[in-house]
Amino acid sequence: MSRPTARESVALMAGYHSPQIDVDVRLNTNESPEPPPEGFADAVAARVAEIAWHRYPQRSASELRSRIGANYGLSASQVFAANGSNEVLQTLLLTFAGPGRSAAVFEPTYALHSHLSRITGTAVIEGERNDDFSLDLDEVERVIVEDRPDVVFLCSPNNPTGVVDPEASIRRVLELTAANGGLLCVDEAYGQFADFSAVTLLGDDTPLVVSRTYSKTWAMAAVRLGYLLAPSWVIDELEKVVLPYHLDAMTQIAGEVALDHLDAMNDRVARLVDERERLLAGLADLPVDVWPSGSNFVLLRPQHLSGDDVWQGLVDRSVLVRNCASWPRLQGCLRVTIGTPDEDDRFLEALTEVLT
């Protein structure tokens, strides 16, 4: 008996994985080093105790969407919530891309944009960034005008480089995308760390959506909650595609309770930014090339040793960072998440030992 086979485009995929290894210091997945604030878990538990388990969750998640929107001066009709920003982006592609359509990315950038595009049967058009990983607007124009992608992805701050796209660049990409009938998606998973957000460019007649997540700045990676801010007509189309009752009751509750702790989230972001600058100062004394970051991670490349050897040397010292060698144009690069001061000291100590 022969086994059924996956469709060819899936069978050829390697999948998207971040290695999980048992180490003392885990700085490879851009998680928050701090948990949510005191009182969060108790408040969630009290709300969960009231769930009617024999009933489906609220399908529209209207309360959660309304409260998210209020933080940005938007209504619930301009917010789409799902199981992590991954499901948000997948639903966006299933709705506005798919077979016979295309999505554009500018490498190096977040690998899941291409991966999700291929999963949904969307052709991927790859443009190149400048040597410093900033957007090359001439290249962006070439890709959009020549290939007319249905969806254009930007990631700002960009993962894994940490580069923040300036407002003028995003405005130009939006102008080009709109002129060619496409939809621009700005992935702001790390948006709270940056000085500018594309949310300010949203409008009912503007083909722009902004994706965000609770996993990073809200310190809620375990919840798997993401959201999209967009014109209401975009949200209406997404609601036709997403599975019924896709967002469970506990996730909705956790997302609502988190919004009661906005000040704590902002304080956490400020601490991480300060710690990021301290880590960058420590790296400046070592033989590594480092890129400026507007996020909660830093990209670096050892100058005299291979990235693979340095990565293994850190693991041998019970410190795990992300090896980015398989990503386009990032041979030899490593990405380190900003951890607690103690974790970052362990990382700097281990890296110094490996490099010297």
For 93-135, what is each residue's pLDDT tens digit? Answer: 999 999 999 999 999 999 999 999 999 999 999 999 999 999 9
166 vs 161: CA distance, rounded Å: 15
Q: How confident is the model at residue 14 (pLDDT cuts 50, 70, 90)?
A: low
CATH number of 8-37+263-355: 3.90.1150.10
Q: Are strands 226-229 and 288-290 parallel, antiparallel or unpaired?
A: unpaired
28 phi/psi in degrees, rounded to 5: -115, -10
Whole-number Å distance between alpha carbons of 142 and 12: 29
- Intervals of CATH 3.90.1150.10 along the chain: 8-37+263-355
Report the pLDDT value the prediction gives residue 16, as an integer from 0 to 100: 55
CA distance 282 to 75: 44
Beta bridge partners of 211: 187, 228
**What whole-number distance in Å separates Cα of residue 162 and Cα of residue 194?**
10
Q: Residues 305-341: pLDDT tens digits?
A: 999 999 999 999 999 999 999 888 999 999 999 999 9
Confidence bin at 19 (pLDDT 50/70/90): low
Q: What is the pLDDT of residues 164-208, one digit of tens each?
A: 999 999 999 999 999 999 999 999 999 999 999 999 999 999 999
Please report the pLDDT score of residue 110 as a whole number.
95
Range(s) of the chain covered by CATH 3.40.640.10: 48-261
Instruction: Please state, in angstroms and rounded to a whole number, the distance separating the CA atoms of residues 130 and 25.
Output: 33
Q: How far apart are CA 127 and CA 156, in angstroms?
A: 16
CATH (residue range 48-261): 3.40.640.10
How far is 212 from 157, CA to CA, in rounded Å?
A: 11
pLDDT attached to residue 11: 47
Q: Which residues pair with 322 in a beta bridge?
A: 335
Question: What's the mean pLDDT in 3-12?
Answer: 66
Of 133, 86, 100, the closest CA to residue 292 belongs to: 133
298 bridge partner residues = 336
Residue 9 binned pLDDT confidence (cut-offs 50, 70, 90) = low
| pLDDT per position as a tens digit, 238-276 | 999 999 999 999 999 999 999 999 999 999 999 999 999
